[in-house]
Structure formats: C-alpha cells, structure tokens
Amino acid sequence: MTSTQTPQLPALRFLKGHGTENDFVIVPDAENAVDLPPAAVARLCDRRAGIGADGVLHVVRSAAHPEARHLAEEAEWFMDYRNADGSVAEMCGNGVRVFARYLEHAGLVTAGEVAVATRGGIKRVHLDKDGSVTVSMGRAALPDAGVTVTVDGRSWPARNVNMGNPHAVAFVEDLGHAGNLYTEPPYEPAAVYPDGVNIEFVVDRGPRHVAMRVHERGAAETRSCGTGACAVAVATARRDGTDPAETGTPVTYTVDVLGGTLVITEHPDGSVDMTGPAVIVAEGVLDPTWWAAARGIETVND
C-alpha cells in the first residue's frame, strides 16, 4: 500500500492582526529558525488559498537576525516585514503598531514605551492603556524629484516623500479617480523609484482633515497604509503652508483610510508620530502538510 508522508516539521504557530484593517499574518520566531521564502509568504497572504493578509510580520530577536544584529542593543525585537507578494520591505507603519501589540499580547513587553528594530531603523512605540498605539515614525525625507501619476487619462503631479520607504502623494478631486488600484498606476519618470513606490491619492475632507486611497508596492490596494498616511500628512502640510519647521509649531492631520482613521503629528524637528488602533484577532497552527507544500517541500511516497 502506498501512503503519503509529511516531512517531520515543527508546527508553525501564527496569529492574525490588523491596524485600521491593514491586516497581517504574524509569525513568532524568536531565534530566526523559520524559512520564509517569497512563495511561502505569498501563499500565507493568499485570501482564498491561505490565511489572507496584506503582509507578514516575522517576529525575530534582533540579535538572531543578520540584518538587525547591529540594532540589538537598542531594540530587542526585529520586525522582518514581508509584502503580500513575498518581497522584503523596509517598513510598514500599521505593521509596527500590530507588531508591538503582539509583543504585549505575548507577554514580551508591557504597556508603555517599546523599541522595535526595522529595516527603516529603530521605531519607538507607545502602547496606550486605552488600546491605541503611537509610533514615532522618524523624519520624512523630501527628495526633489517627483513623478506624474496617470489613471484613466487623468494625470497629477505626485510629491516624493520617503518615510523609510518611498511614497508618491497625488492630490485629486475625487478618490474614485484613482481607479481600481488592482495594478500599480503608471508614473513617469519611472527612474525616480527604481525599487517601486507606494502611491497615495488624497482628497480634502475639512480643516487639517484628508482622506486617502493607496496602492501599496507589492500588495495592490490595501485598507490602510501607516507610512502612507504619514507621507500624506507631510505632503499636505507643505501644500497648506503649515510646515512645522517653518512655523515652529507641531501640526496634526486626521487621515481617513478605507479601514478607519489615523492621526498624524509632525513636529518642528521633523519627527512624525502616528496614532491608531492595533488588534490581535486570532491565533492558531498551520497544517503541516499545507505548510510543507507552501514551502515547496515534496512529500515522500512509500
């Protein structure tokens, strides 16, 4: 008789969380022992054949990861973030909030200040007792080079803002003008963003209040993007003449995303804070046979 044997793999525990409906599969892996090839990440994030998510938060001790060892003295934990297509990303603002919430959920940190290492540097997180999470996102860079974004025959200039990852912010008359955002909107000149870009479309809602849609690099349209909301607030402040570096006064914008609301404050020194919710919704263990197949490990017949 022939049977199919599953390789003896350790059970992979996972959790599911979201921040303003930007959702993530969380993979706890303190010692960096789990192999996460791009195809396996894409399977995890598949909304029909996997768990479903906008990305994966791989939770690793900084000292155990070659990209974060130099940050280990400042931050015990490293957010090894992957986009839904399996590609590696520098940062994810909503992801950092959910990452910190997981650390609290797992008893690895307590409410208060937490340092998280990312490919975009150290992020300082404050876990509030009311459930909200504030992340110090660092300073925005504003490269001179911008692009023109085109959708369905309409074109807009887009401001180049870097929040540890690249963004192109376009102000439009109607969010519907962004189209379906299943595919990346074309932009020129493409050489401005050699590694791709997150593209935000923005409309005004009121005084210091805007709404946005976003095409995230490697994930298509998402319900929210934390770094994108920060980039939008920074770009809007320049448009509105409220640049804190010039006024000497912090400026706060409310940014509506499809999945909720984020509050972004930029300070005169250029630092940007983001406040919003972060929720753990489920946890479980992957089926070993499915996980083996997702990683391209063949079964053995005897």
Binding positions for substrate are 22, 83, 93-94, 165, 198, 216-217, 226-227
Number of Cβ within 10 Å of residue 130's Cβ equals 8
230 counts as catalytic: no
Alpha helices in the chain (DSSP H): 38-45, 93-105, 226-240, 244-247, 288-294
Q: 225, 229, 237, 274: which is the annotated catalytic residue?
A: 225
Amino acid at 240: D
- Three-state SS letters, 178-202: HCCCCCCCCEECHHHCCCCCEEEEE
Tokens of 238: 């320049």
Euclidean distance between CA atoms 121 and 137, whole angstroms: 9
Residue numbering of the annotated binding site: 22, 83, 93-94, 165, 198, 216-217, 226-227
- Count Cβ neighbours within 10 Å for each residue of 150-178 and write b for 16 or more, e otherwise: ebeeeebebbbbbbbbbbbbbbbeeeeeb
Catalytic one of 92, 212, 262, 278: 92
Omega before residue 10 within 30° of 0, cis: no
Per the annotation, the verdict on 92 as an active-site residue is yes
Annotated catalytic residues are: 92, 225
